[in-house]
Structure 1
Amino acid sequence: MKLLDIGEVSRASGVPPSTLRFYEERGLIAPVARHGLRRQYTPGVVLQLTLIGMGKSAGFSLSEIAGMFGPDGHPELPRDELHHRADDIDHQIRELAALSRALRHVADCPAPSHLECPSFQRLMRISTRRLGERNRKSGGRTTPA
Structure 2
Amino acid sequence: MLSIGELSDRTGVPASTLRYYDDLGLVLPAARVAGQRRYTISSVTDIGLIVYFRDVGFTLAEIKHFVSGARQSRRELVDRKLKELVAQQHRIQVALDALEHGRVCPADDQMKCPRLRSIIEGHQHGFSVQESHARAH
TM-score where L is the length of structure 1: 0.66
Q: Pick one of 75, 78, 100 that aligns with 1:79.
A: 75
Which is richer in helix? Answer: 2
Structure 1 position 80, deviation (Å): 1.0
Alignment of 1:88 onto 2:84: yes
RMSD: 3.2
Out of 109-118 and 17-26, give the one that drifted further. 109-118
Give the residue type in structure 2 aligned to 1:49. Answer: I
Q: SS in structure 1 opposite 2:6? A: helix
- 1:108 aligned residue: 104
Any residues of structure 2 matched to 1:2-81 within 5 Å, and which? 3-57=1-55, 58-60=57-59, 62-70=60-68, 78-81=74-77
Structure 1 position 121, deviation (Å): 5.3
Cα distance per residue 1:78-112 (max 9 Å; x no partner) = 11121111111111012112202211321332311
Gaps of 5+ in 2: 132-137
TM-score where L is the length of structure 2: 0.69
Cα distance per residue 1:34-86 (max 9 Å; x no partner) = 455542212222222233234444242x344323334xxx9966111211111
Q: 2-side partners of 1:66 and 1:14: how far apart?
A: 20
